[in-house]
Amino acid sequence: MKFTTERDNFADAVAWVSRTVSTRPTLPVLGGTLVELEGNRLRLASTDLEHTGEAVIEVRGEADGRVVVPGRIFGDVARNLPTGLVEVEAADGGLEVRRGQITHELRLLDAEDFPTLTQPSLEHVGTLSGEALAGAAAQVGRAASHDEARPVLTAVLFEAEQERLTLAATDSYRLAVRSLDWSWQHEPMTALVPARALTEAARALAGEATVEIGIEPHQVTFAGGGRRLTSRLVEGEFPKFRSLIPSGYESVATIDRQILLDALKQVTPYGQNNNPVRLTFDRERLQVDGSLQDVGRGAASVDAKYEGEGLTIAFNPVYLSDGVAAVDDNEAVIEVRDGLKPALIHGNDALGFMYLLMPVRLPG
Amino acid sequence: MSSQVRPTGEVIAGGRPLGPGEADGLGILHADLDAFYASVEVQKDPSLRGRPLLVGGTGGRGVVTSASYEARAFGCRNAMPMARARRLCPQAVAVPPDFAAYRRASATVMGIFQGVTPLVEPLALDEAFLDVRGARALFGDAVAAARLLRERVRAEAGLALTVGVAGSKFLAKLASTRGKPDGLLVVPPGRALEFLHPLPVDALWGAGQATIDVLARYGLRTVGDVAATPRATLERALGPAAGAQLHQLAWARDDREVVPFEAAKSVGAEETFATDIDDPEQLAREVLRCCVRVGRRLREAGLAGRTVTLKLRFADFRTITRGRTLAVATDTDSELHQVAGELLARLQLGRAPIRLAGVTVSNLQRADAPVQLRLGPERPGWEAAVRAADAVRARFGDGAIDLASLAPREREP
């Protein structure tokens, strides 16, 4: 195998497949990246059996071939190469990567052992822009749980419908839901996508004009710009989240989103160990209070439009900031009922994104 | 304070009345209820009074947790297998422990202690150290405070209390042990060695059978023998730490303070089965039973915890633990059971015979700390049911109410 390629294009492709290299491979070859050349088409792939990454780029090919090299090192090597033409050649001792005066030689793993990667089915595919996907993933992904004991909650629910994609995630303390337009020409389907796979794919594909999302019974594939990430789906049943969202709040506050975030930041020093922050809703004002026993307290007052009874409600400061930061509008709307009922946070357009957050119950 | 008229059971070490100033160094009390569980059982059922009574597990591997003095006369002792105790005293009445009743009685007694001094260090339901040095202005000297405690506990809780009065925890505890039953033993600091040195070496705190055997090989049988032995010799014989400590105690040197409240680090419940369990369903029920007990203890103590640990001991005594830490502290049976049940299921034990199962909750915090609420339909019914069940158990005893899945199964025809 021998080819020549431009460093940037090459390094991007290697970085893409580096994500899915097994960190603790059960087989040595799973710690490797597959490098396959056919004519001018270079295909890179890696898998940890849960996720599979694949990238295809055009190179100047001289001799076809198929090798597997240690994946992590390959990623580091490609990233550190200076811009310019890179020569890659498989020799007896290993895979040589040359750039000017720089030479790397990577040991070859047994390519015969590399698992056959099934090609994702492209039967049920929806499309949207990379930017839209990245935005939605960032809004929803943080509400997913990290507790592996309840796998369903570590996933983001995809509800694929004609012209509409809805993403939802909850760690049982908060729920984030985002609906966006996309193109989908099939019957409605749902999928539980691991939040980490979604976040990584969406971030890396953010610059693509079109991202394809293919849903199959047990896996999902994100594809764009010659790159592809396939992830196994989480099994189980996602909570019936729509029934969690109350309707008909009577107390509604509207606040400049950035000013509220700045106020919350003022009291973060008191928020260690999830010490709650208190919001006091009053006509024309919203007061943000934080305090830590035997340490100190802080308060910040911001202008707000508020309709409703005077109320004080406590929240986990991180969860609250996550929700307000995710609002894609200049103004944040917070709907509340009382100190024991969930608050609903959204922008002026409540249909696109909403964030439901349970309060913290204070003693006494 | 006059000590001319002394209630019965009151003894001063050395047998001479306290001289002027001799009460000055006294201030540490060890208060110990006599045959506590058995005495509470007699209170519940006065027809048991005067009869040999054994409290403990009545199953095949049951152990005596408390024997009345009548039963002790036949040689029955605490921690003795129930089967053996019943052979020693066939006419004894054996009853299972009723911890709810013991906790109630204990709370009453500890409340009386607290009324005399805030410096109460509970060691168990039935014993505590008290530091009464600051209570002199209100209640007189330490001997007067001890008398007051004994009178009040008898009058208000109906229980016999033995109190050891001394200048240190070590001597106070020794005094209460020697003062039983229903007694008051005072060891003034000036008579400490006179009291201590004739005692056998097992009176020394930390001297177990192994230590006693070693000391016996050196010909040391009394505390006085140990005191008369050079410290270096003891350190060679028992190791540096144990040797030095024994020497200190033999000279009645103990400066440990009474620590009013030792916050619990964990709350747990475990059960050794009468016969090993290899039925997965039955084991799951036993784990649930532990969860229910732990949940209730947490709620009683006003605590909630984040780390749930499951402990299992196999028939061959191999013991394993598996734990998980939750995002939010819990004190509810159902949540504990969800976690413990998952930990159990993950072990895939098959039909391995299990001898003991236990559930412990650690990483504790006050339950009245702020609580992050969960989304989803409220379950006020369940929460209320659990609290109501707590109230029923507190009033009618542990067996009064239970989960349906823990009820005894009817035999299939």
User: In this structure, how many other beta carbons lie within 10 angstroms of the beta carbon of residue A218?
Assistant: 8
Q: What is the CATH topology of the domain spanning B266-397? A: Dna Ligase; domain 1 (3.30.1490)
| Chain A environment of B372 (Cβ under 8 Å) | 173, 274, 316, 358, 360
Cis omega (within 30 of 0) for bond into A70: no
- Give the model's pLDDT for residue B409: 60
Look-up of token digits 């001297």: B207
Question: Rounded distance, CA B155 to CA B311, Å?
Answer: 43
| Chain A environment of B339 (Cβ under 8 Å) | 149
| H or E stretch covering B334 | helix B333-347
Question: Rounded distance, CA A185 to CA A126, Å?
Answer: 7
Judge whether A318 lies within some domain: yes
Q: Which residues contact B323 (CB under 8 A, 6 or more apart)?
A: B307, B308, B309, B310, B343
Question: Rounded distance, CA A220 to CA A191, Å?
Answer: 8
> How is residue B201 annotated by DSSP?
G
How far is A315 from chain B, CA to nearest CA, in Å?
Answer: 8
Quote the number of domains for chain A: 3
Indicate the SS3 state at residue B197.
Answer: coil
* Identity at A142, one-letter amino acid code: R
- Mutation site for A-interface testing, chosen from B336, B375, B383 by largest number of A Cβ within 10 Å: B375
- Give the model's pLDDT for residue B1: 40
Torsion on CA atoms A335, A337, A341, A342, rounded to nearest 10: 0
> How is residue B353 annotated by DSSP?
-
Burial of residue A41 (CB within 10 Å: 0-12, 13-18, 19+) is middle
Of A149, A170, A316, the CB nearest to B324: A149
Q: Cα angle at B332 between B327 and B338, to 5 degrees?
A: 70
How far is A69 from chain B, CA to nearest CA, in Å?
Answer: 36
Look-up of token digits 């002394």: B6
Judge whether A294 lies within some domain: yes
> How is residue B153 annotated by DSSP?
I
Q: Give the distance from CA B243 to its chain's centroid.
A: 28
CATH code assigned to B197-250: 1.10.150.20
Question: Rounded distance, CA A299 to CA A277, Å?
Answer: 10
B70 catalytic residue (yes or no): no
Judge whether A364 lies within some domain: no
- Give the model's pLDDT for residue B263: 58
Question: Rounded distance, CA A212 to CA A75, Å?
Answer: 25
Residue B296 vs residues B293, B304, B395, B410: alpha-carbon distances, Å: 5, 11, 14, 27
- Give the model's pLDDT for residue A312: 95
How far is A213 from chain B, CA to nearest CA, in Å?
Answer: 30
Question: Rounded distance, CA A173 to CA B326, Å?
Answer: 13
> How is residue B199 annotated by DSSP?
S
Q: Are residues A297 and A189 in the same domain?
A: no
Q: What is the 3-state secondary structure (H, E, C) of chain A?
A: CEEEEEHHHHHHHHHHHHCCCCCCCCCHHHHEEEEEEECCEEEEEEECCCEEEEEEEECEEEECEEEEEEHHHHHHHHHHCCCCEEEEEECCCCEEEEECCEEEEECCECHHHCCCCCCCCCCCEEEECHHHHHHHHHHHHCCCCCCCCCHHHHEEEEEEECCEEEEEEECCCEEEEEEEECEECCCCEEEEEEHHHHHHHHHHCCCCCCEEEEECCCEEEEEECCEEEEEECCCCCCCCHHHHCCCCCCEEEEEEHHHHHHHHHHHHHHCHHHCCEEEEEECCEEEEEEEECCCEEEEEEEECEEECCCEEEEECHHHHHHHHHHCCCCEEEEEECCCCCCEEEECCCCCCEEEEECCEECCC
Assess contact for A347 and A333: CB atoms under 8 A. yes
pLDDT means per 10 residues, chain A with 364 residues, are 96 94 86 96 94 95 96 95 96 90 94 86 91 96 88 96 95 95 93 95 94 95 94 94 88 96 93 86 93 86 94 94 94 93 88 92 76
Q: What is the 3-state secondary structure (H, E, C) of B95-133?
A: ECCCHHHHHHHHHHHHHHHHHHCCCEEEEECCEEEEECH
Q: Which residues contact B266 (CB under 8 A, 6 or more apart)?
A: B305, B360, B361, B362, B364
Of A145, A175, A360, the CB nearest to B373: A360
Question: Rounded distance, CA A189 to CA A212, Å?
Answer: 15
Q: Are residues A196 and A103 in the same domain?
A: no
One of B41, B70, B121, B127 is an active-site residue; which one? B127
Torsion on CA atoms B383, B385, B387, B393, rounded to nearest 10: -150
User: In this structure, how many other beta carbons lie within 10 angstroms of the beta carbon of residue A118?
Assistant: 10
- A135, A136, A140, A119: which is closest to A214 by C-alpha? A119
Q: Cα angle at A287 between A285 and A293, to 5 degrees?
A: 170
Residue A7 vs residues A12, A30, A58, A67, A80: alpha-carbon distances, Å: 8, 25, 12, 20, 10
Question: Which of residues A79, A113, A147 is at a domain's end?
Answer: A113
Indicate the SS3 state at residue B64.
Answer: strand
Q: Cα angle at B310 between B307 and B316, to 5 degrees?
A: 150
Instruction: Count residue pairs from A and B with Cβ separation < 8 A.
Output: 47
A149 and B368: CB-CB below 8 Å? Answer: no
Indicate the SS3 state at residue B195.
Answer: helix
Judge whether A262 lies within some domain: yes
In total, chain A counts a number of residues equal to 364
Which CATH number applies to B8-189: 3.30.70.270, 3.40.50.720, 3.40.50.620, 1.10.30.50?
Answer: 3.30.70.270
Question: Rounded distance, CA B321 to CA A174, Å?
Answer: 32
Which residues of A make CB contacts under 8 Å with B?
145, 147, 149, 170-175, 239, 244, 274-276, 314, 316, 340, 342, 356, 358-364
- Give the model confidence (pLDDT) of A175-201 as tens digits: 999 999 999 999 999 999 999 999 999
Domain with CATH 1.10.150.20 in chain B: 197-250
Q: Cα angle at B355 between B352 and B356, to 5 degrees?
A: 115
Residue A173 vs residues A358, B327, B336: alpha-carbon distances, Å: 6, 10, 18
- Give the model's pLDDT for residue B5: 44
For residue B141, report the phi and psi dihedrals to the nearest 5 degrees.
-75, 180
Q: Which residues contact A361 (CB under 8 A, 6 or more apart)?
A: A314, A339, A340, B370, B371, B373
Q: How do beta strands B184-186 and B161-166 pair?
A: parallel
pLDDT means per 10 residues, chain B with 413 residues, are 53 86 88 93 92 85 86 90 91 88 89 88 88 85 93 93 95 93 92 93 83 89 93 87 88 85 77 89 93 88 88 90 86 89 91 93 81 75 71 68 69 46
Q: Give the distance from CA B69 to its chain's centroid.
A: 19
Q: What is the 3-state secondary structure (H, E, C) of B284-296?
A: HHHHHHHHHHHHH
Domain with CATH 3.30.1490.100 in chain B: 266-397
For residue A282, report the phi and psi dihedrals to the nearest 5 degrees.
-145, 165
Look-up of token digits 């049982």: A172
Judge whether A252 lies within some domain: yes
Q: Domain range for residue A302? A: 245-357
Dihedral sign from CA coordinates of A320, A324, A326, A327: positive
A149 and B327: CB-CB below 8 Å? Answer: no
How far is B105 from chain A, CA to nearest CA, in Å?
Answer: 28
Q: Which residues contact B397 (CB under 8 A, 6 or more apart)?
A: B98, B100, B101
Q: Which residues contact A304 (CB under 8 A, 6 or more apart)?
A: A253, A254, A255, A281, A284, A285, A286
Per-residue tokens: B383: 């929460």
Question: Which CATH number characterizes residue A153's domain?
Answer: 3.10.150.10
Q: Are residues A219 and A254 in the same domain?
A: no
Assess contact for B188 and B196: CB atoms under 8 A. no
| Chain B environment of A153 (Cβ under 8 Å) | none
Judge whether A88 lies within some domain: yes
Domain with CATH 3.30.70.270 in chain B: 8-189
Instruction: Write down the pTM of the prediction.
Output: 0.61
User: In this structure, how many other beta carbons lie within 10 angstroms of the beta carbon of residue B30?
Assistant: 28
Helix then strand then coil, % of chain B, to nearest 5: 45, 25, 35
Q: Does B155 touch chain A (CB under 8 A)?
A: no
- Give the model's pLDDT for residue A333: 96
Assess contact for A241 and A153: CB atoms under 8 A. no
Q: Are residues A17 and A106 in the same domain?
A: yes
Assess contact for A42 and A58: CB atoms under 8 A. yes
Which residues is A179 bridged to in the sheet? A166
Per-residue tokens: B379: 């379950």
- Give the model's pLDDT for residue B395: 65
Q: Does B370 touch chain A (CB under 8 A)?
A: yes
